[in-house]
Amino acid sequence: MTEEIIIAGFGGQGVLSMGKIMAYSGVIQDMEVSWMPSYGPEMRGGTANVIVIISSDRISSPIIKRFDTAIILNQQSLDKFESSIKSGGVLIYDGNGITRHPERKDINIYRVDAAEEASRMNSPKIFNTIVLGGFLKVKPIIKLENVIKGLKKSLPERYHNLIPMNEKALKRGEEIIKEVQKAG
Amino acid sequence: MEKELRLMKGNEAVAEAAIRAGVDGYFGYPITPQSEIIEYLMDANPAETTGMVVLQAESEIAAINMVYGGAACGKKVMTTSSSPGISLKQEGISYIAGAELPCLIVNVVRGGPGLGTIQPAQSDYFQATKGGGHGDYHLIVLAPASVQEMADFVELSFDLAFKYRNPVMMLSDGAIGQMMEKVYLSPHKERAKTVPEWATTGKPTTRQRNIITSLDLDPNRQELFNRKLLAKYDEIREKEVRFEEFQCEDAEYLLVAYGTSARVCQKSVQLAREQGIKAGLLRPITLFPFPTKRINELAGKVKGMLSVEMSAGQMVEDVLLSVSGKVPVYHFGRMGGIVTTPEEVVESLKSKFIGG
């Protein structure tokens, strides 16, 4: 099993930390992982992305151009990465601020309106965990209990009181994600 | 003792491995994409535990000269930087090589020339392997291709540096420095309680003075010294070549790549084989000494070689020398901070050797 994922959005949306939680969870599940962030001019211009690979085998290239799953959190990232998804792959996006929706017919498209849900839950910070919950519903490659352990590993201890909230967010993400299109 | 599993950035792994390897002193100056090394060390504050000195110098030039001083006292000392900073250190590195002192220099390479870019590149190969500073000298150059090797090569570097009394460089790049992978860390080693007999730590009455210098104004003695260095480099060429082969047994086309490019090329080998092209990969782990002999042997078995580097073509010259005209050798690479994709490598292999 190898899952090649890109997560992309604005800086501050928790793109890199969502990837970190995935990577830590993968380690806890005894998988091989790699986490390759954009650290260059993109990051300094306000957008951020990270490539996460989770695999049962040794990972060859940590830098790739075609993805099994793209998790897209803003319009610029949708425009940039929609074409990079493998045929038959998965696109998960948050509809907030999206004016041009995905157009490809050969991929599975899911929508998780996490920004809206996070503000409804009065906790904008758990936005990325809601998205992660949605991802895990579509691709249950990591067990929820390992994600919780991953959260504990990737969050500084002073934030551990937020873990129950994040657990709720993961479950909420699983509930609210909806299929928009099956690959044709 | 069991090794400890962590998820870390390559830069952090270098820092943690340095503490665990019992390094005596780190002297650095921050620069992207390797600032996490000094950040991690400052945060870990090993002065309180192992007694390791961690010092942010006023400049790269100061940092390398602090390394020179520490090394002259027989201590395990190191510095890290990225390309423009490494250029600034070259005078000091040449002096350290000329004084035959052990130390570790880590270069987390970014694109150049000049300030270039902060993105990953492999365009400092010539500088690392052919000397870099003035005078006839070589560094031992190790090329890590994973976060695990970023950790493991710290201790290996010091073993080699002290064995040969020669500076060692780890030639990494921004991608390996910034990415996180699993890493198994070695148990803590105590810092050495003694120093080698050549160290300049004060002269007891029982022996002659120890002198550390790179200066000799007598041409005959200087040439003798140059010959001694050459003999040392020959011994290193003989004994310390390291490389890894990936699906080379039945390969018809050989990719040669190190560091990040070698990771990319592993995937290219898989992709090429899915298309019926028998590709293999030779990954030099030591860039000096270069695996010349093995590449020459493989040249007798394959139809051609492609040197893949994130540069305009530097290592390709060593591949050409190794192959010695037996088969065609080409270069493929991206520059400016762009990491080659696995697919691009396969396309290049096809267009250069198979046509179309």
Asked if this assembly's ipTM is beyond 0.85, the reply is yes
Using the 3D structure, point to which of B238, B273, B299 is the last residue of a domain.
Answer: B238
What pLDDT, on the 0 to 100 scale, is given for residue A46? Answer: 72
What pLDDT, on the 0 to 100 scale, is given for residue B300? Answer: 95
| Same-domain status, B141 and B173 | yes
Question: pLDDT tens for residues B185-206?
Answer: 999 999 999 999 999 999 999 9
pLDDT tier, B356 (very low <50, low <70, confident <90, very high otherwise): low
The count of domains in chain B is: 2
In a domain, B341, yes or no: yes
| Same-domain status, B94 and B136 | yes
What pLDDT, on the 0 to 100 scale, is given for residue A152? Answer: 87
Using the 3D structure, point to which of B238, B272, B298 is the last residue of a domain.
Answer: B238
Given a contact cutoff of 8 angstroms between Cβ atoms, the answer to whether A31 and A54 are in contact is yes
What pLDDT, on the 0 to 100 scale, is given for residue B2? Answer: 79
Which of A40, A62, A65 is nearest residue B118 as measured by Cβ atoms? Answer: A40
Ramachandran quadrant class, B249 (left: phi over 0; alpha: psi -120 to 50; beta: rest) = alpha
- Nearest residue of A to residue B148, measured between CA atoms: A34
What is the CB neighbour count within 10 angstroms for residue A27? 22
Which portions of chain A are predicted below pLDDT 50? none
Which chain B residues are within 8 Å of A35, Cβ to Cβ?
A: 7, 179-181
Question: pLDDT tens for residues B254-266?
Answer: 999 999 999 999 9
| Same-domain status, B233 and B286 | no
What pLDDT, on the 0 to 100 scale, is given for residue A43? Answer: 62
Tell me which residue of B174, B142, B155, B107 sits closest to B244, measured CA to CA.
B142
11-40 of A, contacting B, C-beta below 8 A:
20, 23-24, 27, 32-37, 39-40
| Same-domain status, B169 and B264 | no
- Nearest residue of B to residue A24, measured between CA atoms: B7
Domains identified in chain A and CATH numbers:
2-181 (3.40.920.10)
In a domain, B217, yes or no: no
| Same-domain status, B233 and B285 | no
Question: pLDDT tens for residues A40-77?
Answer: 666 666 789 999 999 999 999 999 999 999 999 999 99
| Same-domain status, B106 and B17 | yes
Instruction: Identify the H or E element spanning A181.
Output: strand A178-181
Cα angle at A180 between A178 and A182, to 5 degrees?
115
Signed CA dihedral, A91, A96, A97, A103: sign only: positive
Question: For B44, phi and psi rounded to 5 degrees?
Answer: -70, -25
Which chain A residues are within 8 Å of B115, Cβ to Cβ?
A: none
Question: pLDDT tens for residues B256-294?
Answer: 999 999 999 999 999 999 999 999 999 999 999 999 999
pLDDT tier, B148 (very low <50, low <70, confident <90, very high otherwise): very high
- Nearest residue of B to residue A34, measured between CA atoms: B181
| Same-domain status, B141 and B258 | no
Cβ distance of A40 and B117 shorter than 8 Å: yes
Say if residue B106's pLDDT is above 90.
Answer: yes
In a domain, B36, yes or no: yes
In a domain, B200, yes or no: no
Write the CATH number for B51. Answer: 3.40.50.970
Cβ distance of B342 and A60 shorter than 8 Å: yes
In a domain, B223, yes or no: no
| Same-domain status, B173 and B125 | yes
| Same-domain status, B92 and B184 | yes
| Same-domain status, B146 and B247 | no
| Same-domain status, B172 and B278 | no
The answer to whether the peptide bond before residue B113 is cis (omega within 30 degrees of 0) is yes
In a domain, B87, yes or no: yes
- Candidates A61, A149, A152, A155: best to mutate against B (most CBs of B within 10 A) is A61
Write the CATH number for B250. Answer: 3.40.50.920
Q: Which domain holds residue B62?
A: 4-190+228-238
In a domain, B160, yes or no: yes
What pLDDT, on the 0 to 100 scale, is given for residue A155? Answer: 83
What pLDDT, on the 0 to 100 scale, is given for residue B266? Answer: 97
Say if residue B340's pLDDT is above 90.
Answer: yes
Tokens standing for B169?
């460089």
| Same-domain status, B24 and B123 | yes
In a domain, B20, yes or no: yes
Average per-residue pLDDT for chain B: 97
